[in-house]
């Protein structure tokens, strides 16, 4: 590696959080023992929040953000990886309490890494990133109705926030798993894209913003919810008996005003999805399924590859809902 390399540094001066791409050296990196040359990172909603003001997650400054990365092992440290292994890192509080992926090199704990399957590239790994990884976790949670609970087949599934990073991949994955997907969005101009992902039906989010009934008509065998609030409450009310509602986001609201009635009369399961601190065994399983369930030819149409310098200007647009598709970071650009 070179003596110096560039990274996006988050700093705090008084109450003001600053962000700047600058040259650093290896001695600046202070977490972990495995040195990885970062090929790509991604931009998730959490990343945008951290870039804005630390989001209450960053406790020490200066800091390197970026909760995801993919790349190649340069120095294995005390791990069982080999130099040259291609690896993926998502979550694990990296980019929060540990230095993250918005850098040309990263020094990380061996426990945070998994070896990338050969069927897809480092770039494709970050086209998914935490958002896509979370989508797969949600999809398998919904399908658990038939696989773990030995219940009836999961046919009709609702996906809220369907044009977002998690929602869009969830539409694709659930379609590949044989479900009839109804996509919820406030962006009518994205209807054709949702259909290309596999959505059979598209409904306006306004249809789910009315005050929910304690128990509505049973419409869904399962739900993937990325928005929370009243939309999630309506989705729960309209879920069929023994259905599973996988919830992973709060883009609309982090509060949930609902009733116990759907849970005790219909046996509905509300399954919270955490993609940060799950076991490596589950991580390895999820990534092993990517080549079967993800069509990168479709996702590539909505990808914008940007540099660290460009990220400084782009992240506010994510917070305002102005970014369509997915941003990935090439720190070597």
Domains in the chain (CATH in brackets) are 4-120+294-329 (3.90.180.10), 131-272 (3.40.50.720)
- Helices (DSSP H) in 150-307: which residue ranges? 165-176, 191-197, 229-237, 261-265, 280-288, 290-293, 296-299
Predicted confidence band of residue 13 (pLDDT cuts 50, 70, 90): confident
Residue 251: predicted pLDDT: 79
Structure tokens at 200: 């059979």
Predicted confidence band of residue 322 (pLDDT cuts 50, 70, 90): confident
Residue 161: strand, helix, or coil: coil
Please state the rounded mean pLDDT for residues 18-41.
96
Predicted confidence band of residue 40 (pLDDT cuts 50, 70, 90): very high
Which of 160-164, 179-183, 189-193 tops mean pLDDT? 179-183
Dist CA 252 CA 228 (whole Å): 6
- Helices (DSSP H) in 35-189: which residue ranges? 45-53, 122-147, 165-176
Query: What are the tens digits of pLDDT across the range 225-267?
Result: 999 999 999 999 999 999 999 999 887 888 999 999 999 999 9
pTM score of the predicted model: 0.94
Structure tokens at 116: 């990338």
How far CA 190 is from CA of 95, 205, 228, in Å, comes to 31, 13, 21
Residue 276: predicted pLDDT: 93
How far CA 80 is from CA of 88, 114, 115, 222, in Å, comes to 15, 11, 11, 40
Residue 181: predicted pLDDT: 98
The yes-or-no verdict on residue 2 having pLDDT over 90 is no
- Picking from 282, 302, 306, 316, the residue whose alpha carbon sits closest to that of residue 134 is 282
Query: What are the tens digits of pLDDT across the range 57-114?
Result: 999 999 999 999 999 999 999 899 999 999 999 999 999 999 999 999 999 999 999 9
Residue 173: predicted pLDDT: 98
Dist CA 76 CA 80 (whole Å): 7
CA dihedral 102, 313, 319, 55 (to 10 degrees): 50
Dist CA 170 CA 13 (whole Å): 40
């Amino acid at each position: 590696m070179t003596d110096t390399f560039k990274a996006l540094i988050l700093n705090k001066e008084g109450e003001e959080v600053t962000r700047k791409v600058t040259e650093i050296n290896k001695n600046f990196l202070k977490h972990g023992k495995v040195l990885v040359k970062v090929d790509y990172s991604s931009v998730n909603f959490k990343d945008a929040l951290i870039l804005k003001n630390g989001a209450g997650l960053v406790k020490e400054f200066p800091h390197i953000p970026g909760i995801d990365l993919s790349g190649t092992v340069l120095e294995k440290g005390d791990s069982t990886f080999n130099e040259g292994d291609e690896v993926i890192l998502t979550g694990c509080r990296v980019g929060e309490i540990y230095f993250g992926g918005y850098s040309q090199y990263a020094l990380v704990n061996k426990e945070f890494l998994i070896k990338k399957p050969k069927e897809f590239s480092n770039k494709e790994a970050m086209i998914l990133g935490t958002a896509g990884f979370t989508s797969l976790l949600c999809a398998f949670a919904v399908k658990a109705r038939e696989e773990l609970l030995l219940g009836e087949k999961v046919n009709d599934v609702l996906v809220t926030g369907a044009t977002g990073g998690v929602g869009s991949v969830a539409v694709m994955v659930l379609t590949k798993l044989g479900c009839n997907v109804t996509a919820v969005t406030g962006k009518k101009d994205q209807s054709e894209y949702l259909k290309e992902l596999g959505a059979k039906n598209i409904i306006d989010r306004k249809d789910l913003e009315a005050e929910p009934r304690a128990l509505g008509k049973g419409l869904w065998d399962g739900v993937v919810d990325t928005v929370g609030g009243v939309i999630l409450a309506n989705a729960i009310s309209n879920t069929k008996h023994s259905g599973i509602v996988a919830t992973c986001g709060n883009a609309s609201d982090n509060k949930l005003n609902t009733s116990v009635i759907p849970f005790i009369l219909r046996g509905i399961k509300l399954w919270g999805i955490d993609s940060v601190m799950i076991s490596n065994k589950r991580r390895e399983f999820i990534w092993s399924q990517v080549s079967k369930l993800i069509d990168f030819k479709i996702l590539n149409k909505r990808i914008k590859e940007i540099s660290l310098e460009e990220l400084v200007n782009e992240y506010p647009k994510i917070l305002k809902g102005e970014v369509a598709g997915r941003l990935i970071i090439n720190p070597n650009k």
